Structure 1
Amino acid sequence: MHSTEELDVVVVMGQGYVGLPLAEAVVESGAKVYGFEIDLNRVRSINEGHSHIDDLSDDQLRAMLTAGYEASAAPEVLCAADFAIIAVPTPLDDGGGPDLRAVESAARALAVQLKPGATVILESTTYPGTTEDVVLPILESRGRVHGRDFFLAFSPERVDPGSARFGIRNTPKLVGGLTPEATEKATRFYEGFVDTVVPLSGAKEAETAKLLENTYRHVNIALVNEMARFCHDLDIDIWEVIRGAASKPFGFQKFTPGPGVGGHCIPIDPNYLSFQVKKTLGYQFKFVELAQEINNSMPQYVVGRVSELLNEQRKPLNGSKILILGITYKPDIADQRESPALPLIEILRSRRAEVSFHDPLVEEWNVDGERLSRVPDLDAALQDADVVLLLQAHSSYDMEHVARLSETLFDTRGVASNTDGVYKL
């Protein structure tokens, strides 16, 4: 396997959920690694050995620092980079399109500092054509020429936060360069710390492959979410339906319904593809837009189901005590990005419900600028609530205990036993 030990410097731009674990993987290959980060508070905290992400412990971060890793906000570190990896956020803008300001800013910084012969790799998820149409012109804006002075490729991040099974090393890495030589250079780099590297024919193919992966999940989650709704109306147990279908050893992959979708990938990434199709070709990517409509409507649907449960008890939603369990977007991690819990509590509060929350991984929750503290005594809160609403099934929750103490438990994840007082999505 190729090693990056002969490389002078690798700079990973952006030290968040993608960039910091990537930096750790590169450090383990033997390279000198800088984590370039514009947030000075984050730089200071990282260099003091405090990790801000779930997938990297303080001990792991300290081991990186001992091995020579350093977080820095100084543009000068870019000058020495043999490989510069752009792993910055790409959220949606107010109009629903991709916000590439962080990517453009990173490219502009590199355009000033880029070392001759360096390879730049974009990992930030974006729409097809970004590497060639956005990043390349910025890097060439000061007279440098791709293929002579530097090389450019795209390699989508495939981080699965909180996963004990898949990490950077054992998750195959896609690579697509603007030229075959750029693809080869990026491939050799990743082979230093990734077991399987898959070269593709170009950057656009690599960009689109990432979007296909997440669009596939987005559409299938929407499918089971819509099925959950009509199965409820038809008095069919959707969880039994899924259990039955999942027994088929071929031609079916299990997806489960829920209160909405969260994280960066599912609620955001497919929009990049939809945006580019509409912008370039002038027509809609109907599957994505329909999936978005269905998945975005799930918080409202959940509130409607809660209201029905209260109505059966002759109680209005107005003034009822609703306890939310689990506000992160994924079980057993503290990440709240795009969590459906936020729109859901906003709807509940707009209808005058008294809402409290508990999450073993989150002590305070920012809701519309207000800091909510989790309930101090979970058992007391369970007994006091008119409806307990399970949004995220963290493994630390004893669901039999939760169901026993709850007057009414609405389980949106299908994990509780079918007992009196338990209702499922």
Structure 2
Amino acid sequence: MIDQIPQQPKKWYQDSILVKLSVITLLILLLLIPSSWIQGLIDERQESQIKMGNQVSDRWSGSQLVQGPVLILPYKKQLAAGKESLGYIYVLPEDVRIKANLKTELFKQGVFDVTVYNSKVGVQGSFSQPNLVKLGIDPALVMYDKARLLFSISDLKGLKNNPSVKVQGQSYVPEPTSGEVNPFEKSLQVGFTLPATGSIAFSYDLDLKGSNDINFLHIGKTTEVEYTSDWKTPKYNGRYLPDTRDTTASGSSAKWHMLYYNRPFPQQWLNDDSVLNSPKALAEATFGVKLQLPIDEYRKVMRTNKYSTLIILLTFVSLFLTELIRKQRIHLFNYTLIGAAMIVYYILLLSFAEQIGFNYAYLLSSTATIGLISFFTASLLNNKAAAALFAFILTVFYGFIFIIIQLEEYSLLVGGIALFIIVAALMYFSRKINWDSH
């Protein structure tokens, strides 16, 4: 008679639900490590996009800040021993009216898109006479024939024409500012003779090109800006939101009307060309429009990756419940392989999104990952119906994340409701499991 080899009794922890659940939880935590690596990869690719954008801006033209104009009037200062030197009166406009129309396009640099534009900017307004009494200056010392009107844009490379500046109806050709008296970092100027009385009207048109955004400086006692563009997803910069704004299928428009009470500049001052260059004052007085891409690919992939832990958790819980309900054990190594496939998914998503856009990349990567995990699950459970159900569950999870990514403003509300429904479903399917049976 052949002796039978006695079977080794199973150790208590081999069939323990709580032990396996604890190990799966540890596995989920370990999968956070490669998930953080992917986040670093997304950051690296986003930095590359910014560098490429800066290269395009350097060659095309950067963000534009339309500044000015300012009136500068020299006068003679009496010094000791009968000597004289020059002083300067700075006067800001009584009113400034700006109209800017932008035509945009996406400039392709490798796999990256940069928003560039061509713009027609019209500027007009008027100056009041400087208040010499308030400044304590004798009118006889003012050099009216040496008056200058200065204006600026932040990147002169983007100026496509030589603008004609009209002062009191007479045309002048501006020249780059030279010398020490320059209230802007870079500026153009025209010289003219200031009339001794009355307001001084001015106007000029700028044909500009730039990239990413266009901004304006609140410099008049009254500043009005009217912006129109074919860009459909504007973001408004600065401390001043537009009074009216509109976005249609053909583009966007906005209007600002501002008074000088909130302006960080005096109406007139003497001998200080740093007033308009103060970083703090510039930040307070600058406003405009950012030509924002509607949730660019990297932001979408980054937001999707932030839900990776949730997706892995829900997938493992669903697989674990399937294992308990069908009473078929799935080895922890198989859990690890499924987790690895779900991590690789984000690398696929990132690489495809750069080439074909986020939506198609999401569809392709999700389909491939769901198909791979479903076929693997079918071979593990030897049950096509259970694998099909698991594929449906994964499709719901990935579809849920896609909807959240698209709904920026309502993502929290939709996500909260969906998570509540998922938890309720898990409670329903787990109610018949006898957790004390092992």
- TM-score, normalisation: structure 2: 0.23
Higher relative contact order (CA 8 A, sep 6+): 2
- TM-score, normalisation: structure 1: 0.24
Identify, as 1 or 2, the structure richer in strand. 2
